[in-house]
Amino acid sequence: MDQQIKKLEARGLRIHNVEKAKMQLLRTSYYDLINGYKEMFLLKEEPDQQEDQFIEGTTFEDIVELYQLDRRIRHTLLEALLDVEAVFYSSVAYSYSIAEAYGEKQVDYLRKENYKIGRK
């Protein structure tokens, strides 16, 4: 972990609180945090440049904030999608009951002839 911190600092990333950074890297892998969110904080690559360099003034905390924002957006979206899914299933169940139309026995509702296949 100390090597990861040193590597980040050598690439121009400022770290305000090294101990907090280490704790964050324990909770979130280096790959998920740094490699997942570094792109917008990098300088344009030079042809002879060996490693990525961070834009001057970029901090570890900037990357963590972007990571946390992305997580909040994903969680909000997932919650909304789950609500949409529940409404969709409920709507299908109440608007057209397959069991009502074809019976509740599996052999009846799995018959291919009971369904339209493709466009006709």
pLDDT digits (tens, 9 = 90+) for 32-84: 999 999 999 998 776 666 788 999 999 999 999 999 999 999 999 999 999 99
Alpha helices in the chain (DSSP H): 2-10, 18-27, 30, 36-37, 60-95, 98-102, 106-109
Q: Answer whether 13's CB lies under 8 Å from 54's CB.
A: yes
* pLDDT at position 120 over 60: no
Quick one: which H or E segment has residue 46?
none
DSSP 11: T
Q: Answer whether 30's CB lies under 8 Å from 3's CB.
A: no
What pLDDT was estimated at residue 97?
Answer: 66
CA angle at residue 23 from 32 to 8, to 5 degrees?
Answer: 60
What pLDDT was estimated at residue 101?
Answer: 73
Please report, for residues 51, 70, 85, the alpha-carbon distance to residue 81 in angstroms, rounded to integers and kept in the order given. 39, 16, 6
Q: What is the mean pLDDT of the chain?
A: 87
* pLDDT at position 96 over 80: no
* pLDDT at position 100 over 90: no
